[in-house]
Structure 1
Amino acid sequence: MTTSVRTSDGTSLQPAPGSPTPEQAAAALTSARDRGQGFVWVHLEDPGEEDLHGYDEALGVHPLAVEDLVTGRQRPKLERYTGEHGGSLLVSTRPASYDDARSAVETGEVLVVLGDRWVLTVARDDEGVVARARERVALEGLELGAAGVLHALLDVVVDAYVAIAEELEEDVSALETEVFSPDARGEGTTARVYELKREALELLRAVRPLVEPARRLWQQELDLVPAEARVFLRDIADHVVQAAESVEGTDRQLGDVHSAHLAEVGLQQNEDARRISAWAALAVVPTIIAGIYGMNFDVMPELEWRFGYPAALLLMVVVCSTLWRAFRRSGWL
C-alpha cells in the first residue's frame, strides 16, 4: 500500500521518513477550509481496512463508502452520501487496458470519493490511471478544485475505453476480411471470434454501467460539482456513450461474422460432399460392370463373344465420360 497526500496550493505534506499520516491530512484540510482555497488529495493503492483507518475520520468519509473502498470490485456507479460539510460523492470506475499481442482486455479499479475540499482515490490494478490523471491535473491547472481530480481520472479512463474500442474494431475488421477471403479455410476462426467476443464483453461490462453515472454528474446540480466542472463532465459523458455504442456495435459485428463464418463452412462442406459424391459415382460405374463380368458363372451372355472385353471397357469409358461431363456442367466437379 502506498499513500500520497497533495494540496492544491503546493504545500508539501510528505514527512521526512514514511508516509503522510491521517493527522497531517486533517490539518491540511482544516487549513484549506479556513483559507477558502485549495484541497487535499489522498491516494491509496490497494488498501485494507487498517490502511483506511484514520483517513475516514480525518476526511469525513461515509461508512458505506469505506465499505466499498475496502471490499473493492465494485460495479461502475455513482453514490451520494449526506453528512457534514455537504456530504460526499463516490464514483466507481473500472479502468481498462489492451494487450495487443494477446488481444486481451484487462480491467482494474479506481474509486473516487469527492468531498468538500478533499478527494480520496483508491486504485487496484489501475494501469497507471492515477499517475496520468495527476499529470493532467498539474498541466490543466487547479481551477476546478477537487472536482478537477474527478474529471481528470474519468477523462483518462474514458480515453482508454475509446482507444480500446477502436483496437477491437480493427481486430474484428481483420477477422472479417479473413473470413470472406476466397483462399481462407477459416481454421481457428470460431475460437478467434469467441476470444474477441469475450474481450468485447469484458470492456462492455466496464463501459456500459458508467453511462448513467457520467450522465448524472453533468445533468444533476450536485453541490460538490461546480457548474464550470459540469461542462467538462458533459464531454466525458459523450465519450462514454460513444465508447459503449462502439463496443456494442463490435459485439453485434462479431455475431454477424460468426454467422457468416458458419454459413461459409456449411457451403464448403456441402461443396466437398458433392465432389466426393460425384467421384464416388464415377467409380461405381466401372465397379458394377467389372463386378458383373467377374462373377463365376458358366452360362453368361457375351462370355464367348470375341469383342466382349473391349466392349465392356468401352462401355465403362463412355458412361464415366458422360457422367463426368454432366457433373462438370452442374458444378459438382
Structure 2
Amino acid sequence: MPSLHWGPSGGDRRADPPLPPIPANRAVVDCGVYVDGVRQPGLRDFANAYRHVRETGEGFVWLGLHSPNEKQMTTVAEVFGLHHLIVEDLVSAHQRPKLELYDDIVFLVLRSIHYIDHDSLDRANDIVDAGEIMLISGRDFVITVRHGDHTQLAGVRAALEARPEILRHGPAIVVHGVADRVVDSYVDVVDQMQPDIDELEERIFAASTAELDIDVVYLSQREVLELRRAVLPLAPPLAWLSGNERPPVARHLELDAGHLTELIGGHREAEIRRHFRDVADHLSTVIDMVNEYDNRLGSLLQAAATKVSIQQSTDMRKISAWAALAAVPTMIAGIYGMNFEFMPELKWEFSYPVVLLVMIGVCALLWRSLHRNKWL
C-alpha cells in the first residue's frame, strides 16, 4: 500500500518559490502634481507624475510614502534620481535629526514625538512615543517618508492645498509645512508634560521617605531624554534653513560654497527663510523647556537621594541610641552573671531591687539626654 505524504517528499521536494516583491505603489500614501500651488487632476502614479513634470517643465511632485522597504525605495530612487546613500537612510530609519545636501537635493530627517495619555505616572510605562519623518526635496519634487504610527502629518497636505498662494513656492514650502507641524507637536508635548513634572515635584517633597518612588522620576527623565534626542539636533538644520550661511553636512556635493546660498528647490529664498525662522523660534522655546525639565528632574533625583540619605542617618542614630540604652543593663547583668563567689552585695537582701533601680535610673538619664539631642 503506498504511503501517504502531506506535501512533496523525496526527490520531488522543492524549495518554496520566493514571494513576489511588493510594488512600490503599496508604500504610497498620496501623490500629486502641483502647478502654481494648485493640484492637477489625475497623475497619482509617481512615475507618470514625475515624467509629466519633467516634460512640461511646470510644477512639482509631492510623493508621500509610509515605511517603504529597500526594493520599494530603490524603485522610487530610480525614478527621481536619488543617491544610494539617501536610500540607505530612508530604509534603515532610526536616524538622528539632520540635514544633508546631495548636489541639488536637500535631505532632512525629523523625529516626531507623541504624548501618551495616562491616568497615573505610577502605571505608565511610557510618556512619549517617537516616530520618524524624512524629507527629500529637489528642484521639482518633494518626497516625505514616514516611519512609525505617530508622525503627525495628517492634514498637512490638505492645509497646504487650501492655500495655493503659499504652495506655489514649491517643494521648500512643503518641507517648511512638515517641519512646522513637527515642531508644533513638540510644543504640545512639552505643554502636556509640564503637569507631570509639577506632580513629581509635589510628590517628592510631600511624601515620606517610605512612600518615595524614585522609579517614576527615572521614567520621566528617560522620556525627557527621548525628547532631547529629537529636539536638540534639529536646531542647526533649522538655523541654516532660516538664513545661517554655515552649510550643513554635505554628501556627494559638487556645488561650491558660493552656490549654497542659491540651493535648488527654493530653500534659500527670502520668503522661505522667513517661514523657517518662525519654526526655529518655536524650536528654541521647546529646547528651553526641555532643558528646564531635564534640570528639574535631575534636581528631583538629587533631592530624593538626599531625603533617603537623611532618613537612613536618622534611622542609624535611633538604632545607636537604643543600643546605648540596652548596653547599661546588659553590662550590669553581665557582671553579676560571672558566678564569682566573692562579689559585693551578693548576700544583701535588697541588692536585687537596688540593681534594678540603678539600671532604670541610668537608662532614664540616657533616654533624656538622647531625646534632648533628638536622637530619639
Interval of TM-score (by shorter of Structure 1 and Structure 2) = 0.7 to 0.9
Partner in structure 1 of residue 113 of structure 2: 96
Partner in structure 2 of residue 255 of structure 1: 298
Partner in structure 1 of residue 145 of structure 2: 122
Task: Find out whether 1:154 has 2:179 as its counterpart.
Answer: yes
Structure ranking higher on relative contact order (CA contacts 8 Å, 6+ apart): 2
SS in 1 for 2:328: helix
User: Aligned equivalents of 2:163 and 2:349: distance in 1?
Assistant: 105
Aligned CA distance change for structure 1 residues 44 and 303 (closer, same or farther; 3 Å): same
Q: Is the 8 A contact 2:152 2:185 kept in 1?
A: no
Q: Is the 8 A contact 1:109 1:126 kept in 2?
A: no
SS in 2 for 1:179: helix
* Larger fraction in helix: 1
CA deviations over 1:263-298 (Å, ceiling 9, x no partner): 111110000011111112112222222333344333
Aligned CA distance change for structure 1 residues 295 and 62 (closer, same or farther; 3 Å): closer
- CA drift at 1:332: 0.4
Task: Find out whether 1:270 has 2:296 as its counterpart.
Answer: no
Picking from 56, 61, 65, the partner of 2:77 is 56
Partner in structure 2 of residue 11 of structure 1: 40
Q: Say which is worse superposed, 25-34 or 285-294, in terms of deviation.
A: 25-34
Partner in structure 2 of residue 213 of structure 1: 237
Partner in structure 2 of residue 17 of structure 1: none
Q: Say which is worse superposed, 140-149 or 302-311, in terms of deviation.
A: 140-149
Q: Is the 8 A contact 2:133 2:151 kept in 1?
A: no
User: Aligned equivalents of 1:303 and 1:218: distance in 2?
Assistant: 98
Aligned CA distance change for structure 1 residues 21 and 215 (closer, same or farther; 3 Å): same
User: Aligned equivalents of 2:150 and 2:162: distance in 1?
Assistant: 20
CA deviations over 1:117-143 (Å, ceiling 9, x no partner): 321111111514222322432444424
Where do 5+ consecutive residues of structure 1 fail to align?
15-19
Letter in 2 for 1:312: V
SS in 2 for 1:301: coil
User: Aligned equivalents of 1:139 and 1:280: distance in 2?
Assistant: 80
Picking from 100, 121, 136, the partner of 1:79 is 100
- RMSD between aligned residues: 2.3
Aligned CA distance change for structure 1 residues 289 and 135 (closer, same or farther; 3 Å): farther
Task: Find out whether 1:233 has 2:276 as its counterpart.
Answer: yes
Q: Say which is worse superposed, 205-214 or 22-31, in terms of deviation.
A: 22-31
Partner in structure 1 of residue 253 of structure 2: none
Q: Say which is worse superposed, 60-69 or 70-79, in terms of deviation.
A: 60-69
- CA drift at 1:10: 2.9
Task: Find out whether 1:106 has 2:129 as its counterpart.
Answer: yes
- CA drift at 1:255: 2.0
Q: Is the 8 A contact 1:22 1:54 kept in 2?
A: no
Letter in 2 for 1:61: L
Q: Which runs of at least 4 in structure 1 moved beyond 6 Å after TM superposition?
A: none
Aligned CA distance change for structure 1 residues 217 and 63 (closer, same or farther; 3 Å): same
Aligned CA distance change for structure 1 residues 169 and 97 (closer, same or farther; 3 Å): same
- CA drift at 1:172: 2.9
CA deviations over 1:282-325 (Å, ceiling 9, x no partner): 12222222333344333221122232122112111211111111
Q: Is the 8 A contact 2:133 2:144 kept in 1?
A: yes
Picking from 195, 201, 205, the partner of 1:180 is 205
Letter in 1 for 2:93: G
Picking from 68, 71, 93, the partner of 1:47 is 68
Q: Is the 8 A contact 1:29 1:39 kept in 2?
A: yes
Aligned CA distance change for structure 1 residues 131 and 72 (closer, same or farther; 3 Å): same
SS in 1 for 2:153: helix
- In the alignment of these two chains, the number of paired residues is 320
Instruction: Provide the identity percentage.
Output: 38
Partner in structure 1 of residue 8 of structure 2: none
Aligned CA distance change for structure 1 residues 140 and 281 (closer, same or farther; 3 Å): farther
Aligned CA distance change for structure 1 residues 274 and 29 (closer, same or farther; 3 Å): same
- CA drift at 1:61: 3.1
- CA drift at 1:112: 0.6
Aligned CA distance change for structure 1 residues 127 and 140 (closer, same or farther; 3 Å): farther
SS in 2 for 1:216: helix
Letter in 2 for 1:66: V
Q: Say which is worse superposed, 266-275 or 198-207, in terms of deviation.
A: 198-207
Letter in 1 for 2:143: L
Q: Say which is worse superposed, 58-67 or 88-97, in terms of deviation.
A: 58-67
Aligned CA distance change for structure 1 residues 12 and 54 (closer, same or farther; 3 Å): farther
Q: Equivalent residues in 2 for 1:135-174 (5 A)?
A: 135-141=158-164, 142-174=167-199
